[in-house]
Structure 1
């Protein structure tokens, strides 16, 4: 039994031409005339319908195609912006199935229930002989409910051991509208799921490069993705006090002189994000009273917490604005990360994924990497790409997300910001 994996990346004047070039490049690395699966990461610079048409014209009629708009794309050869990037898989030890559901914001419960139940369940003859299941979840990055999307996906699956990976679609940081794709369909406010049924388990890992620099604080007033108060104080004021000393020492920035909308403010919001050890268990049904407690010292573990980016904050007083819901009662800590921390984190994620194969060879993989990491790394983003390549020694395709999905690590909840998620395919 073998699995082959190929990647391609292209630009051009039209979406169909760019997709065709990228697919042809990827297909050169596999022997099958038609791949079983194709995942596309696409800049909003292109017409998505044209991209899908171009992809279909090359892969053939039976290939399962999924994908999303992005905020930067990369393969093992390096990163790019304004590209169509693809990864194709051909395997006689896996089967691929996909589904799509719309109206995510208005009715996430129905949307995810429909998407999950349009996939073969355990025991379905279609997956007989393929005991290991993995779900790829791609969803609208502007819906602002990535944590709920992930939790509902897990809730509706008939096997709680099935890992869920993926990311929130992007739009080159325009923060206007994001899209997901399935075969010939392009939708916004939607989710696309892919079921990979395999003979062997697929390695899935996640890591981030942030370390706590403050004591824990409680979200005492919040609404949706806006946090108004931490420990009864204006949220921005509490965050600013927590980073004051470190920001001066590390970046020579006086946080009391920050101006609304300034480059320094944007940079610091990306470096000093909030860490959450757990989120309200009942967030999916609107109740926020039960919170998993932090360790007794009131300092969060350096491994077991999720990152939340307050990057929608534009003012230097009042609330902090996030890309995802943060509920009242959640305990948070201010964290910090720099370039070397980010490279080290992705190295750990890649090495951990390879180690899960216990000496087996890697055919290739997909990487779901946060756009915030790209902002931190800047021109050094390719250092992280090179680090992944040196660890897995195989082709991979990835995109810069508005949030990452990975439910495979018990140290974390399923939704992340400023993290790297890696999914590998054994040969």
Structure 2
């Protein structure tokens, strides 16, 4: 695990900094002192659920005056030096070659899709050139990407990301669901110097640096199937699988007693749903006293769930990061969103160090989530992100920006 504060300036000019200080004031102070530039367009912060979020928000406003700040609580951080069980991770975008706008979407548990889409379209238009009055005159979507941060306890990610993706009209979106370790009590969002709950934050970025969004998972379907025969999709609770109590049916399939089910079990034996010929994970959050199962995604009655088994997580992750490195002519930085259950599975299989080595090699910075967003979908037990390449630096002849110790 990472020890102490750290900072890195990447070739594209983005600064990443991190701290494991016990108090939010101290953590923000360490990070702010490390980021040595007066010209920033946006700060994105991921922070420990142990921190008082109001104190953190005030400290960030004071230390980064005049700079927009957005962020969320996390279930663990990812820094270029390794993982953090607790602390603060900050991504500071430079003003040069990064035009960034953001907004907060409130009351997502009672989402008005039309109003949300209208807000997102308005945000998108603020990046259009002066005088542009037609969508065709706006810059190509290839120069823009969006980051979504969504309350992971509001049970609304599917609706939110679908509405955002619709309004973005081709601009790629990735993101993660705010968490609080595995307490399931309070996930918070940060925007405009204020703390928000049951909300989502959307950060829209325009840059001429090359980039690519991606997703990576490490499971494959088995022949074991479950039909959801009773569920409450709004509460993401499945009461019956194959007309039997859900926890008992699932436990029998994986060879465990229902009393022995735990987050480690759910990470090791994920369930998946087939959409458009491809399988997507639908992770279990917890077993309830009545024998039902709560999920990180909405599950409707009649859905067929497939028991999946993990592949080698290090091999699959390495393959995807290598592909990105080749496609971009070298990866400078990856802003990543990794499911907390994926991390638990890697640790239980004693391969967490292999993942950490890969993340260090490719400068991955981000947080452990309660769910991941990729394009118009909400996913589980996946690693999603945006990889920024070194191509522009190679074209314009700029020198290698030194990494701070």
Give your verdict on TM over 0.5: yes
Question: Could you tell me how far apart the structure 2 residues matched to 1:64 and 1:13 are?
Answer: 24
**Could you tell me which of 356, 364, 367 is aligned with 1:396?**
364
2:272 aligns to what? 275
Matched, 1:197 2:206: yes
Question: Could you tell me how far apart the structure 1 residues matched to 2:112 and 2:355 are?
Answer: 34
1:72 aligns to what? 76
Gaps of 5+ in 2: 1-10, 133-137, 391-405
1:309 aligns to what? 283
User: CA contact under 8 A between 1:368 and 1:400: conserved in structure 2?
Assistant: yes
Question: Could you tell me how far apart the structure 1 residues matched to 2:68 and 2:324 are?
Answer: 25
**Could you tell me which of 354, 358, 362 is aligned with 1:383?**
354
How far did residue 119 of structure 1 move? 0.9
- Structure 1 pair 229–267 and aligned structure 2 pair: CA distance change class (3 A): same
Matched, 1:19 2:31: no
Find the residue that maps to 2:14 and give its secondary structure.
strand
Structure 2 length-normalised TM: 0.83
**Could you tell me which of 350, 368, 374 is aligned with 1:406?**
374
How far did residue 138 of structure 1 move? 0.4
Per-residue CA distance 1:214-248 (angstroms, 9 max, x = gap): 3444323221211233344443343234323xxxx
User: CA contact under 8 A between 1:36 and 1:91: conserved in structure 2?
Assistant: yes
- Structure 1 pair 375–111 and aligned structure 2 pair: CA distance change class (3 A): farther
Structure 1 length-normalised TM: 0.79
Per-residue CA distance 1:249-278 (angstroms, 9 max, x = gap): xxxxxx2xx252x4x544212211111122
Per-residue CA distance 1:119-171 (angstroms, 9 max, x = gap): 123983269556522111101110122222221211222x2x21110110011
> After the TM superposition, which residues 233-248 of structure 1 pair with which residues of structure 2 at under 5 Å, given as runs?
233-244=244-255
Question: Could you tell me how far apart the structure 2 residues matched to 1:382 and 1:54 are?
Answer: 33
2:305 aligns to what? 332
Matched, 1:415 2:386: no
User: CA contact under 8 A between 1:76 and 1:385: conserved in structure 2?
Assistant: no
**Could you tell me which of 153, 156, 172 is aligned with 1:142?**
153
Question: Could you tell me how far apart the structure 2 residues matched to 1:305 and 1:231 are?
Answer: 20
Gaps of 5+ in 1: 245-254, 279-291, 295-303, 408-412
Matched, 1:369 2:369: no
Find the residue that maps to 1:365 and give its secondary structure.
strand
Matched, 1:104 2:108: yes
- Structure 1 pair 406–17 and aligned structure 2 pair: CA distance change class (3 A): same
1:40 aligns to what? 45
Question: Could you tell me how far apart the structure 2 residues matched to 1:120 and 1:209 are?
Answer: 34
How far did residue 5 of structure 1 move? 2.0
2:60 aligns to what? 55
